[in-house]
Each structure stands twice: as structure tokens, then as C-alpha cells.
Amino acid sequence: MRRRLAYTLGLIVVVIAVIASVRAGALTANGPYYAWPAWAQKLPAATRFVVMTNWNSEAVLDRETGLVWERSPDLQVRTWKSAYFHCRTRMVDSRLGWRLPTVEELASLIDPSQPSDALPAGHPFTQVSSAGTWSSTTRDPFSNTTADVVEFSGTSFLVIQHFQGSSLQAWCVRGGQGSDAP
């Protein structure tokens, strides 16, 4: 009886240890695409961003935030309303559910410690414009004429307002909370 009890307890301890090591490794390893997002964690680009090969390598999982980004934003410039609807109808590897990111989500990609690029060193993104990227964030929902834009330039980024009739780049994102833009 004691032998059976000791064996059972030993087995339980081994199972708990294996589960704990798998969970801890999932936070820092380039492993499966399962995100354990925690905005409080700070991951290096090599483990933070995972190019999703099962999405034709057209999407990138940000393991820090749990968001999925287009790997290459469309180079076509659009008005804010056109960018909003472009993302809402965007299909990447047969998947809908894309949207314009909030200004905070765009800003979460910035690494101000980088000397020549606002994005983290080793990031997998291509075609990111320094001229300005639309966000879904509007400051005056009643007038509906301006929206926040993030400009990635060198080691800094700017958040500025642009008239929604301006033509800028859209960088679509999937997941997260987002916002219901008017």
C-alpha cells in the first residue's frame, strides 16, 4: 500500500514539474504560435515576434501583446475611412477579422533604445512607412474629421493628428480589443 502511494505521489510530482516547465518555456521560446500575452513582459525581438508560416508567412504574432500583425503593410495610401474599411475587409491567408490598430497598439511596437529604427532590432516586418500609419483612434468622435497617426522615424515616433481625408498607410492587426471607430 505504501509503495503504491509513494509511486502515485511521485508520478503526480513528475507530471506537475513537466507541466510547469512547458508553461515557463512557452513564454520565452520560439515555439508554437500560442501567445501568452502580458503587456508587462519585455521580450527581445528574436522571441517576441514569430513569423506565422502556417499563414503563408504573411502574418506575425507579437508574443508580448498577443496581437497578430500583417508582416508587410499594403503600400497603397488611403484616406482614414478607406483604410478603416480596407482592414475590415482584409483577407490574409483566407482569414478575415482584421482592423485598424489603436494608437497604443502601434506605439507598443516602438523600441526607443534602437539607434536607427523605431522598431526593435531584428523585427520581421517589411514595408513599414516612416511617413505615417493610420490608427483607429479618433480624438473628437463628434466632428469625425481627424484621427491619430503614428510616424515611425529613426529612433523616435510621433503621434499626430491628421485630417481623415489625408492619404496614409494602413497596417492591419488582428486580435486584441481595438476600438469601434465611428
Mean pLDDT by 10 residues, the chain (182 residues): 55 46 38 60 85 91 92 92 95 92 90 73 86 84 79 68 87 82 54
Same domain, 99 and 18: no
Average pLDDT score over the chain? 77
Query: Domain for residue 38, yes or no?
Result: no
C-alpha cell at 21: 516547465
Query: Domain for residue 41, yes or no?
Result: no
Same domain, 72 and 103: yes
Task: Give exposure, 41-63, as e/b (b: 16+ Cβ within 10 Å).
Answer: eeeeeeebbbebeebeeebbbbb
Per-residue pLDDT, 61: 92
Same domain, 75 and 147: yes
Per-residue pLDDT, 4: 59
Same domain, 57 and 9: no
- The domain of 93 spans 46-174
Same domain, 22 and 63: no
Number of structural domains in the chain: 2
Which among 179, 104, 102 has a CA at the least distance from the CA of 134?
102
Please write the tens of the pLDDT for every residue from 52-79: 998 899 999 998 899 999 999 988 999 9
Same domain, 16 and 96: no
Query: Domain for residue 180, yes or no?
Result: no
Q: Where do the DSSP E strands lie in 8-132? A: 49-51, 59-62, 68-70, 98-99
Strand partners, 169: 133
Query: Domain for residue 179, yes or no?
Result: no
Q: Is there a contact between 137 and 105 (Cβ–Cβ < 8 Å)?
A: no
Query: Domain for residue 122, yes or no?
Result: yes
Per-residue pLDDT, 18: 42
Same domain, 59 and 4: no
Task: Give exposure, 169-182, as e/b (b: 16+ Cβ within 10 Å).
Answer: bbbbbbbbebbebe
Same domain, 9 and 80: no
Same domain, 88 and 4: no
* Amino acid present at 32: P
Same domain, 78 and 166: yes
Per-residue pLDDT, 22: 40
Per-residue pLDDT, 112: 74
